[in-house]
Chains A and B, each alone.
Chain A
């Protein structure tokens, strides 16, 4: 078989060597100057930043999705800025208990964390996160329990299902007094004078 598959006029050894080194050099330059900054956000020479090529690296394509009808489960908006509170709630020994309550309208939302600061056994603490309507003498009120559990800490978010009082009933079952630190952020009013003065 004659030169089937290759050029009939092969270049000299010297030319081939030049072609190889030249090709490799050109390819490497292109890699370092152009490809690396754009494709891998790696810009060792600063050439990508100098030429603005690196902006390509940040470009991402987006598909816009429609918000579901109403969209209220995704985003809620309020007229006033949110508030934050950190409250230390002292509880007496031997089933000392207390309710910490917030005033919220329907759709108001919060995030919260609480924990008992020093407790030997988390089994010795009981809490009930619940809400009820404004008490009206002579009428039957409504109450809803969001979570009832044993344990010395809880974190969560909450959207008030109705207007009323929402909060935590906390019960210390240890033989010593404890302090619960409650942190809240969101849209609510605190009900004043809840923590007994020491």
Chain B
């Protein structure tokens, strides 16, 4: 039914895509360059700049996007899409606000490794792996909420790394959070349009498994990439 050769061909293609995605990581995924200068120097309340930074971070954050893609991959009803995405948003908003305002510092490599694992989890779950291998499936809603918490800590570490001013922090972080949701909505509408179109084609059934293997590879690579960073780049 699914030829191994086709699956692995796609997986390699996805791997290539994942590598391309990692390369601009320093510039695109963390907050870098002039954006970082802005956060480091901005005093007081800056609603729109933080809105923009939040949205930009989400739209260019391929780890968040891969997870979202995995989550909605096999969701056919829009109400389910809305439910899962809301759970994800609640999760990451909680830890983003709590992390930054409460001054909770988590190692960004470890958090990003867990985010990588969230991608692995979702791809594995999409393949029916839990039912097939373990005979049971963890509650997917709880899992999405829990990994949402991890993604929020990931967002928090990116903001904290820039040492934003305490002056106006609450308003700025809420702006950043709202920006994240706007960015997520933008990205989601693109992913969802693509999925709706793709599912309507005859190719979907053939490539769905292969694509999830590709997401699995990307998730493993992200996890290992961050773990390697944790062990090879101490104190950064």
Contact = CB atoms under 8 A, between A and B. Distances in A.
Contacts of A22: 8, 11, 213
B128 A10 contact: yes
Interface in A2-23: 3-13, 15-20, 22-23
Q: Which of A8, A11, A27, A31 has the most chain B CB within a 10 Å cutoff?
A: A27
A41 B214 CA distance: 26
Contacts of B77: 4
A13 B208 CA distance: 17
Interface stretch (B15-23, B44-52, B174-182): B15-23
A11 B131 CA distance: 11
Interface in A83-125: none
B125 A5 contact: yes
Contacts of A17: 133
A6 B8 contact: no
A11 B128 contact: yes
B229 interface: yes
Contact of A13 (B25, B133, B218): B133
A5 to B, nearest CB: 5
B126 A6 contact: yes
Given A10-B132, A39-B225, A30 B15 contact: yes
A78 interface: no
B140 interface: yes
Contacts of A4: 74-77, 80
Contacts of A15: 2
A24 interface: yes
Nearest to B122: A5
Interface residues of B, number: 46
A11 B217 contact: no
B21 to A, nearest CB: 11
B84 to A, nearest CB: 8
Contacts of A34: 19
B202 to A, nearest CB: 14
B221 to A, nearest CB: 4
Interface string A11-51: 11101111110111011101100111011101000000000
Main secondary structure of the interface of A (DSSP, over half): helix
Contacts of A40: 228-229, 232-233
A35 B216 contact: no
Nearest to B23: A38
B12 interface: yes
A26 B140 contact: no
B1 interface: yes
B212 interface: yes
Contacts of B23: 38, 56
A35 B221 contact: yes
A158 B229 CA distance: 45
Q: Which of B7, B137, B213 has the most chain A CB within a 10 Å cutoff?
A: B213
B217 A3 contact: no
Closest A-B pairs by Cβ, 6 of them: A10-B128, A27-B220, A27-B221, A23-B216, A40-B232, A23-B217
Interface of B: 1-2, 4, 7-8, 11-12, 15, 18-19, 22-23, 25-26, 74-77, 80, 124-129, 131-133, 137, 140, 205, 208-209, 212-213, 216-218, 220-221, 224-225, 228-229, 232-233
Interface of A: 3-13, 15-20, 22-24, 26-28, 30-31, 34-36, 38-40, 42, 56
8 contacts: A4-B77, A7-B126, A7-B208, A11-B128, A12-B132, A27-B220, A36-B232, A39-B228
Given A18-B4, A19-B127, A40-B229, 5 more contacts: A26-B12, A27-B224, A35-B19, A36-B232, A40-B232
